[in-house]
Amino acid sequence: MRETIIQYINAFVAGGLICAVGQVLIDKTKLTPARILVLFVSLGVVLTGLGVYEKIVEVGGAGATIPLTGFGYNLAKGAFRDVDKYGLLGAFTGGIRATAAGIAAAVFFSFLAALAVKPRAKT
Amino acid sequence: MIEKKTGRQTFQMQHPPSINATASIVGPKEGKGPLAGYFDQTVDDEFWGEKSWEKAESKFMREVLSKVIAKASLPMDALDFVIAGDLLNQCIAANFGIRESNVPFFGVYGACSTIGEAMQIGAMLIDGGFAFNVACLTSSHFCSAEKQFRFPLELGSQRPPTAQWTVTGSGGIILSAEGDGPYITRITTGKIVDMGIKDQNNMGAAMAPAAADTIFAHFQDTGLPHDYYDMVVTGDLGMVGKHILEDILSSNGIHIGSLLNDCGLMIYDMKQDVHAGGSGCGCAATVFAGYLHDRMKKGKLERILFVPTGALLSPTSVQQGETIPCIAHAVAIENSKGGTQ
Amino acid sequence: MQQVMTRDEYRKYVDKVSPNSRTLRNTLRAFMVGGVICVIGQFFLNSFKNMGLNQETAGSVTSIVMILLGVTLTALNLYDDLGRFAGAGSIVPITGFANSIASPAIEYKSEGYVLGIGARMFLVAGPVLVYGISVSIIVGIIRFLLKS
């Protein structure tokens, strides 16, 4: 029980901190959100490649995998796994294989949402 | 010898055209603002029964045109010209909104300054003897502008405090060779001014130097005293831009801080979460057609200098890292024809 | 009019007179909302693991559920309100990735099913995939080269 609570607290702090870094970048650097997202996913891939992000995931759990850096983590982890299994080809198959569920879900659910609703104004 | 030109960029009307009618239709947010009572109609649904934001914006313009000719008691074929513009690519709101009117048409683009550009061209057409009745119209729509210039509406993003809110609405004006005013007595056509601002979320700062340039030129060309007008009202500088305009004018010896006002600050209550204020082609147009014209008709304002301001950027130019060229057109509107001349 | 300022001076002056974003407030909000979204993710992850799924499958299913959540809130016209409050707190989590795909899909429906929904869906998220996938391939190739 105590372990679970610590796990949740870690997820909260890790996820919160990653988002807070993003906010500081948006406010202070005038980087657009799209650029922040690109930066975060690329950073996630690189940090995983360097073996750093795995340690953050060990502590932060979902707090490290739910932010976009976690998407980069999954891409890099998948690429590594497939490279180890299939050689050079794995560099091309691994990333998308590991993230396929998320990408496919985002495309499909978004398509359904577009069929179902009209845009609405912010009032 | 050009007899109506005074100075570098100001033109004196010999037969000042009369503003015989105005009409304005706004969206729900503007309809909750402090000027709510002055607009002819408030539409509660941004789609206005249409299938897209763009079609809705065209409808705003179409309805304003029929409203304004009705208020001027003119049939459509009494109009010699319609001059109209908007923010959308290829000015589709105007082109599609006006297409059934069967009136000779000039489509114009000056971003949010478009109503000023339209009024200047209309005034010159009438004073030059080319037209008797001219309709000037512009529109903007928050949703179509967001879609074109920023992001999809449902995207969860934040705006910085310098950002402005595009007005949903359309304003129209009938200029005529005869009428009992108020009259357009002189105009100062703006030059493009670019002071190197790149941030499309700080348009007021980009446009303020253009407004200052035109206002300065107006007083220099005409030699009028700086306190000649009851109000010098810019289009959509917002909070940041208005502050900068005051600064630049003061440092050029024009101290009219208390006479300055801005349509973008008038149309919303600052509590409406609009950050630095309103913007868009519909901002100056609806505030003039709704509020300012009414104040003049009732004699609360005798003469104003109406200075719609525009940021001439495009999504492509922003992505290519260009700075924002800006423009402001000044239109002097007075209850008496003669002015002091 | 006399030019009182050069472009550089004007830019500096504008920075001075323009109000700044309330970074402290915004960052606090981003921290809280981002943290809460991750806690929700952790909850789903734990639940799926308790149902007997292995770590990897549970992770994938959690992604799907979180994306469904993001898309649903977008379709209900709520995610933009959350975004206005939380900023990066709702942009950076995977729910924000879902929002960035669903929102143009909804917005561009008026341009048709193929060139509207189909083509514009990746207006915002496209770059994330382009750079994420490309960098992961490079990292994979480096791994391959280092091994051999």
pLDDT recorded at residue B181? 87
Rounded mean pLDDT of B16-42? 97
pLDDT recorded at residue A33? 82
pLDDT at C100 over 90: yes
pLDDT recorded at residue A7? 96
Comparing CA positions, the residue from C129, C132, C46 lying closest to residue A106 is: C129
Taking CA atoms, B146 is separated from A8, A115, B149, in Å, by 38, 21, 5
CA distance B143 to chain A (A): 7
pLDDT recorded at residue C2? 63
pLDDT at C94 over 90: yes
pLDDT recorded at residue A1? 81
pLDDT at B237 over 60: yes
Q: Which of A26, A33, A121 sits opposite B143 (nearest CB)?
A: A121
Q: What's the DSSP call for residue B52?
A: S
What is the share, in percent, of chain B residues with pLDDT greater than 90? 96
pLDDT recorded at residue A122? 67
Q: 10-residue block means of pLDDT along chain A (123 residues)? A: 92 97 91 89 97 96 97 97 96 96 97 94 68
pLDDT bin (cut points 50, 70, 90) of residue C3 is low
Q: Is A5 exposed, middle or buried (0-12, 13-18, 19+ CB in 10 A)?
A: exposed
Angle between helices C94-107 and A89-116 (to 10 degrees): 50
Model confidence over B256-301: pLDDT tens digits?
Answer: 999 999 999 999 998 998 999 999 999 999 999 999 999 999 999 9
Q: Which chains touch B (3 or more CB pairs under 8 A)?
A: A, C
Q: Looking at chain A, which residue has its C-alpha nearest residue B51? A: A118
CA distance B258 to chain A (A): 32
For chain B, the structural domain boundaries read 5-176, 183-334
pLDDT recorded at residue C148? 79
Q: Which residues are paired to B231 by β-bridges?
A: B304
Higher pLDDT, B327 or A29: B327
CB spacing of C102 vs B240 below 8 angstroms:
no
Q: Which residues of B touch C106 (CB under 8 A)?
A: 152, 154
pLDDT recorded at residue B1? 60
Q: Looking at chain B, which residue has its C-alpha nearest residue A122? A: B153
Containing B328, the helix (H) or strand (E) segment is strand B326-328
CB spacing of A23 vs C33 below 8 angstroms:
no
Q: Which CATH superfamily is domain B5-176 in?
A: Stage V sporulation protein AD (3.40.47.40)
pLDDT recorded at residue B340? 43
CB spacing of A42 vs C135 below 8 angstroms:
yes
pLDDT bin (cut points 50, 70, 90) of residue B315 is very high
Model confidence over C118-135: pLDDT tens digits?
Answer: 999 999 999 999 999 999
The ipTM of this complex is 0.94
Q: Which of B153, B160, B199 sits opposite A122 (nearest CB)?
A: B153
pLDDT recorded at residue B140? 98
What is the share, in percent, of chain C residues with pLDDT greater than 90? 94
Question: What does the mean pLDDT of chain B come to?
Answer: 96
| Contact B289/C at CB under 8 A | no
| Contact B226/C at CB under 8 A | no
Please state which CATH class domain B183-334 belongs to.
alpha beta
CA distance C44 to chain B (A): 23
Containing B26, the helix (H) or strand (E) segment is strand B18-26
For chain A, the structural domain boundaries read 2-116
CB spacing of A120 vs B154 below 8 angstroms:
yes
pLDDT bin (cut points 50, 70, 90) of residue C5 is confident
Contacts with C101 (C-beta within 8 Å, 6 or more apart), sequence order = A106, A107, A110, C71, C121, C122, C124, C125
pLDDT at C17 over 70: yes
pLDDT recorded at residue B341? 43
pLDDT recorded at residue A123? 56
Q: Which of B154, B203, B254, B275 to mutate to test the interface with C (most CBs of C within 10 A)?
A: B154
